[in-house]
Chains A and B, each alone.
Chain A
């Protein structure tokens, strides 16, 4: 077969392959938009946390999945976003200070602040390779936690500080809004749902552009072979640093969303466990894939909450405070074990499994010739 006919034969098939995907996506969008009208607040809240976390996971999948740079400091940058937003948008209450900026300005500045923190760490992040960066970035979580406890005027110390609700163009994303759609009152959860959906969508598209474009390709060759990437003209140290800064900004956005979803910022949330959660999300979903990061984030976030809610109906698991296997610990068992299993069976995660299946469905000429 000549090259030209082969190319021509692929094109209509590619369209046919993409069409069901597009329909599926459209259906998913409609469902996601309609959900607040039907679901109770419990499920919507899980959705909010999932979306907030998914944005953070997207950042980590760019950094680790594509660029191969492990970070266990992700929780630190999420904290910068959360506290940055709380401080910039908050007012002075007692000993806790705030700048009282409009929430949208505060959110943007908090994201930039996380990026700046990433930039400050980039002399370290740019020079270390893979796993070494993982251990070095551990330090950020501990240093960050220390700062959260000690910078009381900004962070409120151990008890944390409350978070100003989001507002945009006079519309307040809180329960005090008296808007109702089709008889459903639009409180904080319902209105935040749409805000989060929009932010997550933009974050996903941006991540996709980056991963599919010039920087993403450079990151992946750098991950697979640093010297090879340099020989193609990639400035390795700079590429590592910029992947780190970008992922910090994603973490910053995740932090702002987390602040809005929790409506409070407390230091103990931003511990090493959170960093490891992020890592587990992108590994379960499949490294370097945007959809994998979102699926993984939803799974890791929802699992403990759902287990806890249905504790009575489940064997072994009990709700908080009762005698037995606590739901949050049960969730840790499940996803810790899943990480081990994924590494043992399919180190590419979910995405690799799907990919292997797709390869099998490809026309024979695209396959390996024996």
Chain B
């Protein structure tokens, strides 16, 4: 199946009056790797969360090819082939790496309570385990499959999340700060994995990242957010030179600090 186009049309998001996203528009072309950058609190994570239906938008539309996904439930969006990773790692810490990856197969498998109870899920499980092992091998987690996820090193946890998103067999892959906290070598490696996966699996990729080295080396296009608005968009080379981006992203001395509150959610 060909990779999908993602269109974000005038999407707004408000938390109790506070505007986190303000009529955000951009399009991710099929098969491209698209970066969303911006200072802390610019609304990047909120944007990813609206794409997945975690935060209900207050206005605008989100289209995956011709499907409107704007008000779909998170699991329905996942079922359309949207896989993602999280900024603060979300795994089951007490489970094995293999079990954590197998959760990624949830939408592709069907054994329910009754079937599983009656030993009927095993065949399906074995079939999918093979594929999961392949993916684990691809990201370099083969030797860790039996260890408890909570005991993994940080870099392995990041790869686990990435691998689990791939286990969904996604068409659109959403990555929230995939290399945050990794050292330069690990970051480069994961960046290359994203490119390889995009090519091998026919993916469209949207990611948020602060590491400019990785962004510039793997992104086909970049959207820059500040205070919930798109302030620039273009090819990496264009964005790098854009004066607005330089001042917004690097924070010119005469500009007030970005408010971290904008990204917070009400309790």
Name A residues whose Cβ lies closer than 8 Å to a Cβ of B.
Answer: 1, 3-4, 6-7, 10, 206, 209-210, 213-218, 220-221, 223-225, 227-236, 242, 246, 348, 355, 359, 362, 365-369
A255-B90 Cα distance, complex, nearest whole Å: 38
Q: Which residue in A7, A359, A369 is a CB contact (below 8 Å) of B148?
A: A359
Q: Which residue in B75, B78, B84, B106 is a CB contact (below 8 Å) of A217?
A: B106
The 9 A-B residue pairs with the shortest CB-CB distance, nearest first, are A233-B107, A3-B142, A228-B90, A230-B74, A213-B116, A233-B78, A6-B143, A368-B151, A206-B117
Binary A-proximity of B141-160 (CB < 8 A = 1, otherwise 0)? 01111111001110000000
Q: Which residue in B78, B143, B152 is a CB contact (below 8 Å) of A1?
A: B143
A10 x B113 contact (CB < 8 A): no
Q: Assess whether B104 is interfacial by the CB under 8 Å rule.
A: yes
B113 x A215 contact (CB < 8 A): yes
B142 x A217 contact (CB < 8 A): no
Binary A-proximity of B116-130 (CB < 8 A = 1, otherwise 0)? 111101101100000
Q: Which residue in B73, B117, B151 is a CB contact (below 8 Å) of A359?
A: B151
Q: Which residue in B75, B95, B112, B116 is a CB contact (below 8 Å) of A233?
A: B75
Which residues of the partner chain B approach A246 to less than 8 Å between Cβ atoms? 113
Q: Please count the residue pairs between chain A and chain B whose beta carbons lie under 8 angstroms apart in the complex.
A: 123
Closest to A218 in B: B106
Chain B residues within 8 Å of chain A by Cβ, number:
49
Which residues of the partner chain A approach B217 to less than 8 Å between Cβ atoms? none
Q: Assess whether B260 is interfacial by the CB under 8 Å rule.
A: no
- Of B79, B143, B146, most A-chain CB atoms within 10 Å: B143
On whether A230 and B151 interact (CB within 8 A), knowing A6-B142, A215-B112, A246-B113, the answer reads no
B147 x A366 contact (CB < 8 A): yes
Which residues of the partner chain B approach A7 to less than 8 Å between Cβ atoms? 142-143, 145
12 contacts between A and B (CB under 8 A): A213-B121, A214-B111, A215-B113, A218-B103, A220-B94, A230-B78, A232-B75, A233-B75, A233-B168, A246-B113, A366-B144, A369-B153
A355-B148 Cα distance, complex, nearest whole Å: 10
Q: A206-B117, A213-B111, A230-B78 given; name 9 further pairs at CB < 8 Å.
A: A7-B143, A209-B116, A214-B121, A215-B112, A224-B92, A228-B86, A231-B78, A234-B106, A362-B147
Q: Assess whether B109 is interfacial by the CB under 8 Å rule.
A: yes
Binary A-proximity of B31-62 (CB < 8 A = 1, otherwise 0)? 00000000000000000000010100000000
Q: Assess whether B7 is interfacial by the CB under 8 Å rule.
A: no
Shortest CB–CB separation between residue B104 and chain A, in angstroms? 6
A233 x B91 contact (CB < 8 A): no
Q: Which residue in A209, A225, A367 is a CB contact (below 8 Å) of B147?
A: A367
A51-B104 Cα distance, complex, nearest whole Å: 36
Which residues of the partner chain A approach B102 to less than 8 Å between Cβ atoms? 214, 217
A224 x B91 contact (CB < 8 A): yes
Which residues of the partner chain A approach B211 to less than 8 Å between Cβ atoms? none
Q: Assess whether B93 is interfacial by the CB under 8 Å rule.
A: yes
Which residues of the partner chain B approach A235 to less than 8 Å between Cβ atoms? 73, 75
Q: Assess whether B198 is interfacial by the CB under 8 Å rule.
A: no
B74 x A214 contact (CB < 8 A): no
Shortest CB–CB separation between residue B259 and chain A, in angstroms? 24
Which residues of the partner chain B approach A217 to less than 8 Å between Cβ atoms? 92, 95, 99, 102-103, 106
On whether A225 and B90 interact (CB within 8 A), knowing A6-B143, A214-B125, A231-B74, the answer reads yes
A227 x B99 contact (CB < 8 A): no
Q: Which residue in A224, A234, A366 is a CB contact (below 8 Å) of B75?
A: A234
Which residues of the partner chain B approach A369 to less than 8 Å between Cβ atoms? 153
A267-B122 Cα distance, complex, nearest whole Å: 42
Q: Which residue in A4, A10, A224, A231 is a CB contact (below 8 Å) of B93?
A: A224
- Of B75, B112, B140, B148, most A-chain CB atoms within 10 Å: B75
A12-B99 Cα distance, complex, nearest whole Å: 21
Binary A-proximity of B228-254 (CB < 8 A = 1, otherwise 0)? 000000000000000000000000000
Q: Assess whether B221 is interfacial by the CB under 8 Å rule.
A: no
Shortest CB–CB separation between residue B263 and chain A, in angstroms? 16
- Of A3, A6, A206, A231, most B-chain CB atoms within 10 Å: A231
Contact residues of B between 180 and 217, Cβ < 8 Å to A? none
A337-B105 Cα distance, complex, nearest whole Å: 42
A232 x B104 contact (CB < 8 A): yes
Shortest CB–CB separation between residue B160 and chain A, in angstroms? 12
On whether A232 and B164 interact (CB within 8 A), knowing A214-B111, A218-B106, A348-B94, the answer reads yes
Closest to B136 in A: A3
Closest to A4 in B: B142
A227-B94 Cα distance, complex, nearest whole Å: 18
A164-B143 Cα distance, complex, nearest whole Å: 57
Closest to B101 in A: A217
Closest to B74 in A: A230
Which residues of the partner chain B approach A213 to less than 8 Å between Cβ atoms? 111, 116, 121-122, 125
B143 x A230 contact (CB < 8 A): no
Which residues of the partner chain A approach B91 to less than 8 Å between Cβ atoms? 221, 224, 228
